[in-house]
A and B are shown apart, each in its own frame.
Chain A
Amino acid sequence: MISFIFKRLLQSIVVMLTVALIAFSMFRFVGDPINNMVGQDTSQEEREALTERLGLNDPFIEQFGRFVLHAAEGDFGISYKYREPVSKLIEGRLSATLELSFVSAVLALVIGIPAGVYTALRSKGILSKGIMTLSLIGVSLPTFLIGILLILFFGVVLRWLPTFGRGDVVAIGWWTTGFLTASGLKSLILPSITLALFQMTLIMRLVRAEMLEVLRTDFVKFARARGLPDRAVHFKHALKNTLVPVITITGLQLGSLIAFAIITESVFQWPGMGLLFIQAIADVDIPIMAAYLVMIAFFFVIINMVVDILYYTVDPRLRADSAT
């Protein structure tokens, strides 16, 4: 197990380095940052001087090396636009994005899994057919449109919920949370729904497909033959076996929540990393972009590791293998 985790860690580092490299080599093409760092009547000489001082003229590999070395110490450089250390900027945004993703993830799972199970067990039923179709509408609309329509309806027409931002947040160390204030919680509702919809559908369909598979297996039939009541068959045996494969994909899905948050955050002006990133792309704020992508990769490898470990704990067969 230990050696396994260690191996995974090594892999993760490789993955992150690759991501960093790819990302970094792409930035050189996304545009010239200088224009956003100076006003309109700044002269060419000054612009060039700035470029030089930023080391943007150094050979690529040198820039990359510098980046990796600093990143290793958690220093992602200074944002061109905000002239603050990127690490501080991200620090300030991290909690917003994570809380949003977390709530959405919970929503997606809490609704997705039971719905999937239900539609699998009652696969012929009218209701489950309804659920299936309804869930599709969720993924048939672009996220941003869903967001805006929600704002229009609940924010402008009904005036029930806030249309933007996080509301009041409480700071716990560098972590700010919206969970502790009424307005914070209210502001969470619309964005998290917008963000969760897509994943919810995916998870639900996945669970359904897997469940149908498992229900066909012999051991389910045998469990029935042993006289076990449906409840036991479905939830004790079938569901548990369903979740094994579901774990991996769900893990990845939830990981991508953090990235998908980009859209949701810009629609709701949610002060998270995604918003920071999309802003950074427009302003060609390379340090922020680099940091963000590495963060994303980081989250993914973490999630992947958690998933694998879960796997080991859930599935005895794997445990046996790892033992040998």
Chain B
Amino acid sequence: MADTQTIEKTRLQRFFGSDIWYSFTRHPVAIVSAIVTVVMILAAIFAPYIAPHNPFNLASIDLMDASLPPAWYYDGDPKFLLGTDDQGRDILSTILFGARISLLVGFSSVIFSMVVGIALGLISGYVGGRTDAIIMRIADVQLSFPAILIALLIDGVARGIIPKELHADISIYVLIFAIGISGWVQYARTVRGSTLVEKSKEYVQAARVIGIRPFTILRRHILPNVMGPVMVIATIHLAIAIITEATLSFLGVGVPPTTPSLGTLIRIGNEYLFSGDWWITIFPGITLVVLVLAVNLLGDWMRDALNPKLR
């Protein structure tokens, strides 16, 4: 028994021993984008502590500071490194807080569609028959409603049925729901596909011979084995979700400008592109591009490393 301890490997060790990790260490691009992503996520999480100002604290905003250029310009104010927007908010801070919201929306909606998609995918893949047919039909209908349209409608409905005074508070959840609900199909289809493959494998039959109940089989046996491709989709979906949020904010749907996301910042800034206050758009724009690009590149590498069929 003594030697078993030495043989035992923690999951972490396994990970670092794995081919994934190896191929990661061999991909400078992947490493860089991973670092960028992590840094941005951390920055977003700790925005309240690292941001020089709190753009959401209205009392601290002074309209007289509005539209100041970045600090290195002669009429810039050292207090505001990247300048201020039309309301006198510090761009750097708004970016930090904005990224926070964009990422919140992105992650939450991805998780949302992941949960829904995986659940439905597992069920229709494992149960098959009518259930499968029905779920897949729903998926088809859903597919004939492009993401943006769904989001637009759902937002419209939400604003219709939810008490108006709550809008500002719940708009972000509406957004998450709207973006999330439009994304589940891809997961469902992928998971269904790999579930069909896995369920025919003998380890599943072995479990059934033992008597394990379907739910346990799905949870303990199939789920872990279908997560690979899901993770890849999730990464790329995260990028798309963030962009979608931005796009929606352009169409006037989305979080209130008092608590702007990166997308909202860019939309607001758009109105100043011609007026020469370029920093109001460009800095959030760059942040968004870098973030999404990093996430996408990460997904790219993962796709090639795991090489699942993305269907």
Contact = CB atoms under 8 A, between A and B. Distances in A.
B36 interface: no
A300 B143 contact: yes
Given A11-B137, A129-B29, 6 more contacts: A29-B156, A29-B159, A140-B288, A142-B243, A145-B266, A249-B311
Interface in B285-309: 285, 288-289, 292-293, 296-297, 300, 303, 307, 309
Contacts of A26: 153-154, 156-157
A36 B45 CA distance: 43
Contact of A19 (B145, B148, B240, B273): B145
Interface string B229-251: 00000000001100100110011
27 contacts: A26-B156, A31-B160, A129-B29, A136-B300, A139-B243, A139-B292, A140-B239, A140-B288, A140-B289, A141-B243, A142-B243, A145-B281, A152-B274, A209-B303, A209-B309, A210-B309, A252-B143, A260-B146, A260-B148, A262-B149, A263-B247, A281-B156, A282-B252, A296-B144, A296-B145, A296-B146, A297-B144
Contact of A136 (B143, B273, B297): B297
A262 B252 CA distance: 13
Is chain A's interface secondary structure helix, strand, loop, or mixed overall?
helix
B247 A140 contact: no
A18 B310 CA distance: 28
Contacts of B296: 136, 139-140
Interface of A: 11, 15, 18-19, 22-23, 26, 28-31, 129, 132-133, 136-137, 139-145, 148, 152, 206, 209-210, 212-213, 245, 249, 252, 255-256, 259-260, 262-263, 266, 278, 281-282, 293, 296-297, 300-301, 304
B293 A281 contact: no
A262 B250 CA distance: 11
A321 to B, nearest CB: 18
Contact of A29 (B157, B240, B266, B293): B157
B152 interface: yes
Contacts of B156: 26, 29-31, 281
Given A29-B157, A140-B292, A145-B285, A281 B152 contact: yes
Contacts of B266: 142, 145
A138 to B, nearest CB: 10
B53 to A, nearest CB: 25
A140 B147 CA distance: 17
B197 to A, nearest CB: 15
A163 to B, nearest CB: 12
Nearest to A142: B246
A287 to B, nearest CB: 16
B303 to A, nearest CB: 7
Contacts of B143: 252, 300
Interface in B100-126: none
Contacts of B243: 139-142
Interface in B135-183: 137, 140-141, 143-149, 152-154, 156-161
Contacts of A249: 311
A245 B311 contact: yes
B144 A143 contact: no
Contacts of B37: none
A300 B157 CA distance: 23
Contacts of A209: 303, 309-310
Contact of B251 (A23, A255, A278): A278
B263 interface: yes
Given A136-B297, A140-B239, A259-B148, A30 B247 contact: no
B292 A259 contact: no
Contacts of B153: 22-23, 26, 30
A259 B146 contact: yes
Closest 6 pairs between A and B when the two form their complex, measured CB to CB: A29-B160, A300-B144, A259-B146, A30-B156, A140-B292, A142-B246
A29 B161 contact: yes
Given A133-B297, A136-B293, A144-B270, A293 B149 contact: yes
B299 to A, nearest CB: 9
Contacts of A281: 152, 156
A140 B146 CA distance: 19
A213 B229 CA distance: 15
